[in-house]
Amino acid sequence: MRGWRPLLIILAIAAVAMSCPSAVVAEDSEPFQVLIDYSHGQGSVDVRADALLISSLQDSGFKISRIVNSLNATLLSKSSVLIIGPVQWPINGFTFDEINAIAEWFESGNKLLWVGCDSDYVSDTTGQWVNDNMTALLRAVGSQVYPEPTQVIDSESNCGQEHTAVANKTSQNPMIQQAVEGVEGILMHGGTLLYGTTTSLPANPIPLEQYALPNVYPLLYYSPAAFIFDYDEALLPVAHNDGQEGEFVACTMEVRESSVIIVSGASPYGSSTSMSSNEYFSTQLDGLRFVSQTIMYGMDLAASKPAFRMSYLSDQLSSAYPILLVSILVPLCYLIRRDHLRLS
């Protein structure tokens, strides 16, 4: 009996201590840092629409950094959000190291990645550089959504010309209402549409306006008058047909296990014709509202997702402490009782 007493005391104290809530250490209340990429030819940092977007995000508590040289792991490690628009010209394409750095950063969890795309013009020497680069990046992070290598025009919902199409329909899914609330028109200047895939590669193409993918939420749709107008026959649309009309998907949000991906058929920044524009050729738009709300809501979702890291593992183990306490004390009580009966 006496031989069990020290062991009983030690184990009981340890089990009780583990079952109690641990002290919470106050963390730095640093704002989420947003990286906006200008290092691949994506326009000027002085564009008024960009200035308004940056100001809106800063007013909401975000810290903004504009990348003008190159993307690297050091820059990414300090950020929670990366907004990256379509590359301009082949010379500005992503490097292998940049794509790997972005993929590793994204997979670390609690990240928001917005990949803006564009229509593309085939070059005899350089090919579809926008589609190639943005698809390579999306493939690296395991996206289910990709840009079609084509352009969408609209003869009815536009800002004066058919190539200035306006996406005028938003999803009614309650999951993403915080992103699209109050949004009626978004400029998709020279933009493209999106398609989905059920694999980690852009294979088994799915028209997203017709079929749903798990955890993929369309945010914006083109109008019923939207029309696929392909400039070439070298690379035709993947999940659609040249000349097809319909309410194509213009922007999606994919909610992953620990991060969020937004894909859009046009760029959310970088010029006066970006998605964040509030007006274009006297047409009133909701660009600033939509882009700001989508970033803020996307980051809320990403921040609330449990990234697999040691602190998360510790949190999960802490929930098992009461069970551990019982599993220690019950056998010990049995052994003590048994020894007591033997002695008596």
Please name each of the domains of the chain with its CATH number: 33-304 (3.40.50.880)
Q: What is the pLDDT, as a whole number, of residue 89?
A: 82
Q: What is the pLDDT, as a whole number, of residue 309?
A: 37
Q: What is the pLDDT, as a whole number, of residue 70?
A: 82
Q: What is the pLDDT, as a whole number, of residue 212?
A: 93
First to last CA, the chain: 11
Q: What is the pLDDT, as a whole number, of residue 130?
A: 87
Place of tokens 């970033």: 295
Q: What is the pLDDT, as a whole number, of residue 235?
A: 78
Alpha-carbon Rg of the chain, whole angstroms?
26
User: Distance (Å, rounded) from C-alpha 316 to C-alpha 319?
Assistant: 6
Which distant-in-sequence residues (6+ apart) come within 8 Å of 257 by Cβ?
Answer: 305
User: Distance (Å, rounded) from C-alpha 261 to C-alpha 106?
Assistant: 9
User: Distance (Å, rounded) from C-alpha 78 to C-alpha 74?
Assistant: 7
Kindly state the tokens that stand for 230: 């392909």
Q: Dmax of the chain from CA atoms?
A: 99
User: Distance (Å, rounded) from C-alpha 214 to C-alpha 46?
Assistant: 39
Which distant-in-sequence residues (6+ apart) come within 8 Å of 134 by Cβ?
Answer: 86, 87, 115, 116, 117, 118, 147
Q: What is the pLDDT, as a whole number, of residue 38?
A: 93
Place of tokens 């510790």: 314
Nearest Cα neighbor of 245 from 231, 227, 223 is: 227
Could you report the average pLDDT of every consecutive run of 10 residues in the chain (344 residues)? 49 44 39 89 77 92 90 92 91 92 96 93 69 94 94 96 96 94 96 88 84 96 95 82 96 94 96 90 95 95 66 39 50 54 53
> Is residue 116 within 8 Å of residue 157, measured between CB atoms?
no
User: Distance (Å, rounded) from C-alpha 69 to C-alpha 37?
Assistant: 9
Q: What is the pLDDT, as a whole number, of residue 174?
A: 94
43, 65, 98, 163 from 92: Cα distances, Å: 12, 20, 12, 25
Q: Could you say which DSSP state residue 90 is in?
A: G
